[in-house]
Amino acid sequence: MSKYKTITIFLSYARGDDEPFVRRLYEDLTAHGFQVWFDRLSMPSRNLTFHQEIRDAVAAHDRLLLVIGPMAVASEYVRQEWQFAWFEAEKVVTPILRLGDYPLAIDELKLVHAEDFRNDADYALHLRELVRILNEPPPPMGKLIAVPSLPAHYLSRTDRLIPLRDAVRSGLDSAASFGGMAARQQFHGIAGAAKHVGMHGMGGIGKSVLANLLAHDRKIREAFPDGIVWVGLGSVPVVADLMRRVHVDFGGDGAFVTEHEGKAKLKELLSGKAVLLVLDDAWRRQDIEAFDILGPRCRALITTRDAGLLTSVGGTHHLVELLTDDEALRLLALAVGKELDELPAEARMVIKQCGRLPLVVSLAGGMVAAGMSWTNLLTAFDRHKLEFFKEASARRGLSGRELHELVAGLDGVDDLFPAPRQLRPYLLSCIIECEME
């Protein structure tokens, strides 16, 4: 029996890999005292989308046990299950390898030990080890402070996320054992490693979403147990107000007037803490320098459109590029609520019109999910629907200044769209219309 309170487990797998093995595992874990959610018994009929029922089930359990095989790795079902657990629901994800080889393991989870269940002759041995792992208390995680919720539809963009995670964790010596044992973080500062890690790329390309994913990543939160704090800068921030908010967030009184005073107080407050500071949408060097408050166990992650800005403050930086065609189709399928092979031929035309920008692909998919036909969507791209934008903005009561700021939010797309300036109002009208519903 379990040594602790009854531990609840959500069992995530693909039926096409080895369902008899999964059923055996379910029965054995249940016999060891775990309460296990197994879809064949808990939800006999799985639909083709990730319904709220599944999210609720993942959120209601302590851990997600991921059975890795070729079909599980390829399954959008399975991906959404473990991604929700890992990035949003703050659950421990424990992978085990049933079929294939270790390179098949999901990149985001490669810092987590995966018990090897490929050889049936060793099943009892690995089951004992798995039971031990599942009984270990999870390591503490830093709290999220002012970090936005993740969007409804997103791609983890592993090839960008993993190098960023490695760069942010670089120089932080973790003695955490594999297999879910309690982590014993032993930080020795960041000598020889950059305190600033940055992302740059055009507007709408997904920098903030990547930063958000990184902030929610369990291994990042374990590396910064004192918290991950989000500071949205923008073109003209009121820096002193932002400083006061951060000071209060970490237990201070926010009792200072000038940025100079704030910088000194924040430096003192963070000197002994392990904190990740996310500076989102930085435009000016002086704003970044105002938050040069990092103690020896802290890091800053910066997003900006200006690569030169990152160079000027030092550190490492990463270019965020457009989605590939395959990535854009995956995101479109997520936004529409379909499997990839269910998308019509028009889908490729849509992602071309969207310029493979994540923001715009998500918008387009949302319009189809809301009932617009693919043909009408493509027609709307062609016609730009300027009159619809005017009507929608008038109904919402946006001022001229607010409209200007919204349009500026899609700056940087001139080289990607046919007649981009005419298209921006149509895209913004979609946002406005969705927000009014």
Same-domain pairing of 271 and 157: yes
The larger pLDDT score, comparing residue 397 to residue 371, is at 371
> Band of the pLDDT at 173, cuts 50, 70, 90?
low
Q: Does residue 255 belong to any structural domain of this protein? A: yes
180 and 309 in a single domain? The answer is yes
Q: How sure is the predictor about 287, in pLDDT bands with cuts at 50, 70 and 90?
A: very high
My answer on whether 364 and 274 are in the same domain is: no
CA pair distance 108, 154, nearest whole angstrom: 15
**Residue 276 β-bridge partners:** 228, 299
**Share of residues in the chain with pLDDT > 70 (%):** 78
Answer yes or no: is pLDDT of 432 > 70: no
Of 114, 135, 156, the one marking the end of a domain is 135
pLDDT given at position 203: 80
Half-sphere exposure of 16 (CA within 13 A, CB side): 8
More confident residue, 284 or 166: 284
123 and 181 share one domain: no
At 73 the pLDDT is: 87
pLDDT at 229: 96
Range of the domain at 91: 8-135
Residue 192 has pLDDT above 50, yes or no: no
32 φ/ψ angles, rounded to the nearest 5 degrees: -90, 5
Confidence of residue 384 (pLDDT cuts 50, 70, 90): low
Looking up residue 196, the CATH number of its domain turns out to be 3.40.50.300
Segment 181-202 shows an average pLDDT of 56
Q: Where are the beta strands (DSSP E) in 239-298?
A: 276-282
Domain final residue, candidates 78, 108, 135: 135
157 and 250 both lie in a single domain: yes
pLDDT by residue (tens digit) across 62-109? 999 999 999 998 887 888 899 889 888 889 999 999 988 866 667 677
pLDDT for 45: 53
Residue 55 belongs to what H/E stretch?
Answer: helix 52-59
| 346 within domain boundaries | yes
Looking at residue 353, its pLDDT comes to: 85
Helices (H) and strands (E) in the chain, counts: 20, 11
CA dist., res. 22 & res. 17, Å (int): 9
pLDDT higher than threshold 60 for residue 412 = no
Provide the pLDDT confidence category of residue 430 given band limits of 50, 70 and 90: very low
* Contact yes or no for 99/17 (Cβ under 8 A): yes
Read off the pLDDT band of 184 (50, 70, 90).
very low
Give domain status of residue 175, yes or no. yes
Closest CA to 407 of 385, 395, 389, 382: 389
Give the position of tokens 């079909």.
71
Same domain, 315 and 332: no
pLDDT recorded at residue 159: 77
Residue pLDDT, tens place only, 42-57: 765 555 445 677 888 8
As a whole number, mean pLDDT of residues 254-283 equals 93
- Confidence grade of residue 172 (pLDDT, cut at 50, 70, 90): confident
Q: What is the pLDDT of residue 28?
A: 96
For residue 124, what pLDDT is reported? 96
Q: Which amino acid is at 259?
A: E
Question: ∠ CA(162), CA(283), CA(207), 5° rounding?
Answer: 25
- pLDDT over threshold 90, residue 280: yes
CATH of the domain at 86: 3.40.50.10140
Residue that finishes a domain, picked among 90, 105, 135: 135
Domain membership of residue 17 (yes or no) is: yes
* pLDDT mean over 321-330: 90
> How far is 336 from 369, CA to CA, in rounded Å?
5
Domain shared by 279 and 338, yes or no: no
Model confidence band, residue 409 (pLDDT cutoffs 50, 70, 90): very low
Q: Is the pLDDT of residue 235 over 70?
A: yes
* CA atoms within 13 A of residue 4's CA, in its CB half-sphere: 12
How many domains are contained in the chain?
3
Say if residue 236 is in the same domain as residue 303: yes
Cα separations (Å) of 112 from 115, 162, 220? Answer: 10, 13, 13
In a domain, 377, yes or no: yes
Give 163's pLDDT tier (boundaries 50, 70, 90).
confident
Residues 365, 284, single domain; the answer is: no
The model's confidence at residue 386, banded by pLDDT at 50, 70 and 90, is very low
- The per-residue pLDDT for 86 is 87
337-365 tens-digit pLDDT: 888 888 999 999 999 888 888 888 888 88
Same domain, 283 and 378: no
| pLDDT at residue 304 greater than cutoff 90 | yes
Q: Is residue 226 part of a domain?
A: yes
Burial of 352 (0-12, 13-18, 19+ CB in 10 A): middle
For residues 388-397, give the mean pLDDT.
42
Check residue 369 and give its pLDDT. Answer: 86
* pLDDT > 90 in the chain, percent: 40
> Is 3 within a domain?
no
Tokens linked to 426: 């149509």
287/350 same-domain check: no
pLDDT number for residue 104: 61
For residue 1, being part of any structural domain is answered with: no
423 vs 240, which has greater pLDDT?
240
**Does the structure show a pLDDT above 60 at 185?**
no
Q: Are residues 116 and 71 both part of a single domain?
A: yes
Which token pair is 378? Answer: 């493509």
284: left (phi over 0), alpha (psi -120 to 50) or beta: beta
